[in-house]
Amino acid sequence: KVISIGKQNFVSLRENDCFYIDKTDLICKWWESKDEITLITRPRRFGKTLNMSMLNCFFSNQFTGREDLFKGLAVWKKEKYRKMQGTYPVIFLSFADVKQTNGADAIKQVKRIISDVYESCQYLVKWENLGERQRRQFLEICPQMDDVTAQNALKDLTKYLAKYYGKNVIILLDEYDTPMQEAYVHGYLDVFTEFMRSLFNSTF
């Protein structure tokens, strides 16, 4: 098999039959831990992003019916998990591109990423069981939204998705620390930390 350097997309890796060290047992261990929040800190190039992509492919209902991605891997040996594949609403986002040199632009970039997540869930706006106030709240989400709206946006979206699908939502956040590193390097850590603390607190 080809060892594809730098490939971080689980679907691409599996569809192209690239060399893969099976880490899918992580799914079982993580699920059975029943933790509400899990923070994964490892060295660079350890495979964190690929693992996040793997978790997204396994749980997200956007990948319903994609058994082919997991057949032959450790997680697929357990019937309980075979039934679980592709059955949860998942919010998967990355802060890898939040590398601005000032606080205002960094916050704008975070808001843009959140707006993109909402854009992928536009079907909720037409859902008859979404209340008028919730619909207005949904439509307020844009890159120009105020800080408080942005800080509560992901929490609100989990409520809408949970109501729509009848299941709790899994949130996967990759590169959570990249913006904090940039804020430290460029000298706007205090103002950015205030924004991110409220965002993380509300979301998680």
State the pLDDT confidence band at 1, using cuts at 50, 70 and 90. Answer: confident
Tell me the C-alpha distance between 175 and 39, whole Å.
11
Mean of per-residue pLDDT scores for the chain: 94
State the pLDDT confidence band at 9, using cuts at 50, 70 and 90. Answer: very high
Other CB atoms within a 10 A radius of the CB of residue 168 amount to 10
Q: Would the pLDDT of 5 be above 90? A: no
pTM of the predicted model as reported, rounded to 2 decimal places: 0.91
> Per-residue pLDDT tens for 72-105?
999 999 999 999 999 999 999 999 999 999 999 9
State the pLDDT confidence band at 44, using cuts at 50, 70 and 90. Answer: confident
Question: Mean pLDDT throughout 174-182?
Answer: 93
CB–CB of 113/176 below 8 Å? no
Listed in sequence order, the DSSP H helices in 140-204 are 147-165, 178-186, 189-203
Tell me the C-alpha distance between 179 and 144, whole Å.
19
Question: Mean pLDDT throughout 7-35?
Answer: 94
> Per-residue pLDDT tens for 109-166?
999 999 999 999 999 999 999 999 999 999 999 999 999 999 999 999 999 999 999 9
What is the structure's pLDDT at 182? 95
